[in-house]
Amino acid sequence: MQRQKSMLSFLKRPSSEDQSSGNNKLKLPNQNAVPLTKNIPDILGTETPPEKLPRQVLPFNSGHDGNKSSAFSSIRHKFIREKPRIDRDLAKNDSFGIPSLCTKNEGSETLGNPSVSLRLGSNRSSVSSNRNSNQEGKGSVSLIQGDDHGFGPETPSMQPFVPGLKRVQDDMRTSGDRSDCSSLNTSKRIKSLEGLNIGRKNLEAEFEMTSKFEWLHPSQIKDANGRMAGDSLYDKRTLFIPPDALRKMSASQKQYWDVKCKYMDILLFFKVGKFYELYELDAEIGHKELDWKMTQSGVGKCRQVGISESGIDEAVQKLLARGYKVGRMEQLETSEQAKSRGSTSVIRRKLVHVLTPSTTSEGNIGPDAVHLLAVKETCNEQENGSTAFGFAFVDCAALKVWVGSISDDASCAALGALLMQVSPKEVIHNARGLSKDAQKALKKYSLTGPAVPLLSPVQPGADFVDPAEVKNFLDLKGYFKGSCNKWDHTFDGVTSHDVALCALGSLVNHLERLMLDEVLRNGDILSYEVYRGCLKMDGQTLVNLEIFNNNADGSPSGTLYKYLDNCVTSPGKRLLRNWVCHPLKDVEKINHRLDVIDRLVENSEATLSAAQYLRKLPDLDRLFGRVKASIQSSEALLLPLIGAKILKQRVKVFGLLVKGLRIGLDLLRLLQKEHLTSSLAKVVSLPVLDGDDGLDKFLGQFEAAIKSDFPNFQDHNATDFDAETLSILMELFVEKATEWSQVIYAISC
């Protein structure tokens, strides 16, 4: 009986007679080949039944002229695509004589998923050179790296044993239709390729999610005047929509785009039922910033993202914190009311307000003042060679507007002082109305703080240029009628009256566009002086001395203001900053402040009691501003669904203000009892507290009204009747607005 072959005999290299040559055979370099021809002794004395030789995993051909093809050649097409000719240099760099990734001069190779292609290199030589350089440790990393335990020069420790080869065979049989098998670490490489395929699929899906409107494409977008984005006069706030496109839109689409084309610089939420939606370019931002899923189900089947009513406030605050301007188009009626006007009627909607980082008055905005600044520069230099700047800025949370002017030279040191003192969140300026020196100063001092303010250029023709026109406009609109001072008297002490009036006009225009009429109607207007009555510290001095921001990272850490700021209340922090900006030079005023400090130090018990009162105080300055803003603004209460929410907030704000002022009056009466108000009266103006005309009795009447009508004012379910009651109470309360402002200022000191 013929002796059976050993079960390990298949590991022996085939003899030269048994090998056949082929034109498509790959040559295996001897220096890189895995030595599988090592003399392994047969296992004698073991009879085994005849068995089929296992299929070789990879070709181990050492001959050049054999006629037989390797066992691997029959399945090679499953792993690589055949080419007319294989680069031998590329093959030499592979341990098994098979390139890890096939490349083509023209075409791409499909990896994993046949529907997703990945182009790997432009020619053979570039791939070959990269592989050689990577082996030498000098080249760049290839697209898909080889196994860290890959095959290099043969060493004894790298010689395979039978169990290792069996694992290779198992891996090969389980790999199925996976596309690359250039190393033993097959699963690792396939996972990498699958990740690339998934990323490519996501990218293709994102490209498919493109706008259906050609006029929104970056290369075709125009402003309302037909100017392209590259034009120096391009107005990014507006959008040109072709008339043909408007005619093809549905009624809901027209509602949205009629507003959006005038507010391209804001994110416009469109109310649809119980959801708020962003469309097209705004949807891209919502997808990027808030990770909202984008779909093609918006108004007119355009790109859209959305949020429910319950989450809109939080979403708006997140977008504001990231520097975006946000507007909301609310429904003016319910769907039932719209249907009553006809089956084809569309729900009426309106842009009710716009929030920006520089005009926000709600949410957690912190103790620091939030300012919006408008700057104007005279076209012609004055007689002494200096330039006049007019400015106006607003604190919407406190409902206060300041105006003034400065005289400056080419260094723009005074302008820098203004920017450092005000620290605006946004600066409005004429796109072509500022000199190069002024523009340079704006950019320079904008980088000194932790947050860079937004610079908003206004195109010529969209702003006031004539002071008389501004005056007529303010009188016609009836703005600043609720101010403690008449607006025209505020300009009596302003040096450059005309340019300051134009700056105010620019600010008013901007606030009107943002639907902030309540600020203009009921806000206080005051004059602001950069240098007068105090030591002069220009912008560069404030920067060099690190008064408010350090020069390392722009934060307050290690600055003079940070060291001095031990204030308990938010209004106190803002007042301290103002005092640091304007250090007194009048000896008498300095001594008055020192006298108050001495009296407080002498009476430590009164000081401790005062500190306890202060810790209980809310931000009275901002609460009072919100109450004043609510006067004669009942339109928002008529909005369905959100009117009740707005009324509930107003009840809460008014109740907190009355409660906080009671704490403040108790504090002032404590100081009065300790005979400290006489010294304090030399620093601030104090109203009458006691008596029939005193604020104490006046405030008591409102406390009784709140206890009667709004006992649980912090969570009161308001009705339509409550709206009328609250409106009457607030109007009566602000009749003594001047006295309340004096109380709040005295408490802040």
User: pLDDT value at position 126?
Assistant: 40
CA 621 to chain centre: 28
**Under 8 Å between Cβ of 391 and 401:** no
More confident site: 664 or 24: 664
- Mean pLDDT on 552-556: 87
Interval 200-228 mean pLDDT: 74
Q: What is the mean pLDDT of residues 56-80?
A: 49
- Residue 78's pLDDT is 52
**Cα distances (angstroms) measured from residue 83 to each of 24, 104, 107, 125, 154:** 10, 8, 12, 15, 30
Burial class of residue 17 (count of CB atoms within 10 Å of its CB; 0-12, 13-18, 19+): exposed
Asked if pLDDT for residue 299 goes beyond 90, the answer is: no
Give the least confident one: 31-45, 365-379, 621-635: 31-45
Q: How confident is the model at residue 10 (pLDDT cuts 50, 70, 90)?
A: very low
Binned at pLDDT 50, 70 and 90, residue 492 comes out as confident
Backbone φ and ψ of 641, nearest 5°? 75, -40
Residues 565 and 163: their CA atoms lie apart, in Å, by: 74
Instruction: Name every residue whose Cβ is closer than 8 Å to that of residue 560 and which is 6 or more positions away in sequence.
Output: 545, 546, 547, 548, 580
362 versus 162: which is more confidently predicted?
362
Mean predicted confidence (pLDDT) in 216-245 = 90
Measured between alpha carbons, how far is residue 10 from residues 6, 76, 160, 180 in Å? 8, 21, 15, 26
Would you state the pLDDT for residue 341? Answer: 86
Instruction: In whole angstroms, give the CA distance from residue 224 to residue 240.
Output: 4
DSSP reduced 3-state for 222: strand
Return the biggest CA–CA distance within the chain: 132
CA dist 594 and 383 (Å) reads 42
Contact assessment for residue 525 and residue 403, using Cβ atoms and an 8 Å cutoff: yes
Q: What is the mean pLDDT of the chain?
A: 77
Give pLDDT, residue 137: 43
pLDDT-derived band at 117 (thresholds 50, 70, 90) equals: very low
- Confidence at 657, pLDDT banded by 50, 70, 90: very high
Query: Taking 80 as the threshold, does the pLDDT of residue 94 lie above it?
Result: no
What are the backbone angles phi and psi of residue 270, rounded to the nearest 5°? -110, 120
The pLDDT of residue 641: 72
Average pLDDT of span 40-47:
44
Instruction: Let me know: does 546 contact 559? Beta carbons within 8 Å.
Output: yes
Distance CA 537, CA 195 (A): 59
In this prediction, residue 210 carries a pLDDT of 66
- Specify the DSSP element, H or E, that contains 405: strand 400-408
pTM: 0.71
- How far is it, in rounded angstroms, from Cα 171 to Cα 190? 12
DSSP string, 691-742: STTSHHHHHHHHHHHHHHH-TTGGG----HHHHHHHHHHHHHHGGGHHHHHH
> What is the pLDDT confidence band of residue 396, given thresholds at 50, 70 and 90?
very high
pLDDT (tens digit per residue) in 180-211:
444 444 454 555 555 555 555 554 445 445 66
Residue 89 has pLDDT above 50, yes or no: no
Tokens 């928002």 sit at which residue? 636
- Provide the 3-class DSSP secondary structure of residue 510: helix
Return the half-sphere exposure (C-beta side, CA atoms, 13 A cut-off) of residue 85: 5
d(CA 221, CA 461): 21
pLDDT one-digit tens code per residue, 127-181: 344 444 444 444 443 333 334 444 334 433 444 444 444 444 444 444 444 444 4
Beta strands in 173-286 (DSSP E): 267-272, 275-279
Percent of the chain with pLDDT over 70: 70
C-alpha closest to that of 548 among 528, 573, 529: 573
Output the six-digit token pair for 146. 């080889």
**CA–CA distance, 79 with 190 (Å, rounded to integer):** 12
Query: Tokens representing 242?
Result: 């072709």
- For residue 417, what pLDDT is reported? 94
Q: CB neighbours (10 Å) of residue 391?
A: 28
pLDDT > 90: percent of the chain: 44
Token duo for residue 147: 């196994």
Report d(CA 119, CA 539) in Å as an integer. Answer: 56
Q: When comparing pLDDT for 395 and 433, which is higher?
A: 395
The rounded distance, in Å, linking the Cα atoms of 400 and 624 is 11
Q: Which residues pair with 389 in a beta bridge?
A: 377, 406
Q: Tell me if residue 385 falls in helix, strand or coil.
A: coil
Q: Which residue has the higher pLDDT, 128 or 339?
A: 339
- What token pair was written down for 195? 């990740």
Q: Cα separation of 590 and 586, whole Å? A: 6
In terms of pLDDT, which residue wins out, 405 or 532? 405
Q: In this predicted structure, what is the pLDDT of residue 170?
A: 45
CA dist 67 and 147 (Å) reads 33
Nearest alpha carbon to residue 626 among 650, 609, 602: 650
Whose CA is closest to 713, among 652, 645, 643, 654?
A: 652
**Residue 47: pLDDT band with limits 50, 70, 90:** very low
pLDDT at 406: 93
d(CA 746, CA 749): 5
Average the pLDDT over 633-659 and give the result: 86
State both tokens at 48: 């085994």
In sequence order, what are the residues at sequence separation of 6 or more whose Cβ sits closer than 8 angstroms to the Cβ of residue 117? 108, 109, 110, 111
